[in-house]
A and B are shown apart, each in its own frame.
Chain A
Amino acid sequence: MKLTNKLKEARVAKNMTQADLGDKVGVTRQTIIAIEKEKFVPSAKLALELARALETNFDQVFWLE
């Protein structure tokens, strides 16, 4: 099973740039890009922080496929 995400859609819906989101959760813009492209699988902690930063539920942004 693969961890899939809708991080880009959730971020754009909140009018945030990759840099804004990265600053909010304390990671680089490159890390946000890698997660959005599903090249990098974030830890549970970072995934939860991203969901919180985007003011959405975890399972609306990340799920197993």
Chain B
Amino acid sequence: MRRDLLPYILSRIVLSLAFGGLFYLSGSSVWTAMLITGVLITLFLWAPNSGRYSVHPEYGITALRRDERTQVINDQAARNAFVAVMLLSGAALIYLRATGNPSDVIVYLKTILLAGVGVYYISDFALRKTQ
């Protein structure tokens, strides 16, 4: 573990504990909250070595920054996800109007948002391979 990244690491541990606490307070079991906290801490500890961020210890708790290439990839992935969400929303709207069953709206909305997240990560992965 890099000592110069201590402010970043401590801040992320606090953040993970707070997130786990929120899960516990919202009705999840202690074990689920602990699992989520553990997963988050692991991800935050892995991030500086992931190659996704340039590391700038001089910035303290915001030591991880996207560099030029990762910013381009992130922007493109976000645009792809936005377009996917818009197209799927349009399709769902047309379908729901045709079938006349508005009670399904929330289910469709959840699915569309999940699809958007999926498109973002798939784009991110594919762009990292090609750029």
Contacts and interface: CB of A to CB of B under 8 A. Distances in A.
Nearest to A35: B69
A27 interface: yes
A16 to B, nearest CB: 16
Interface residues of B, number: 14
A40 B131 contact: yes
* Dominant SS among interface residues on chain B: mixed
B75 interface: no
B130 A28 contact: no
A31 B130 contact: no
Contact of B51 (A30, A39, A40, A42): A30
B24 interface: no
Interface string B39-56: 000000000000111101
Interface residues of A, number: 13
B131 A42 contact: no
A28 B54 contact: yes
B67 A28 contact: yes
Contacts of A34: 69, 131
Interface in A30-45: 30-31, 34, 39-40, 42-43
A42 B68 CA distance: 8
A39 B68 CA distance: 13
B70 interface: yes
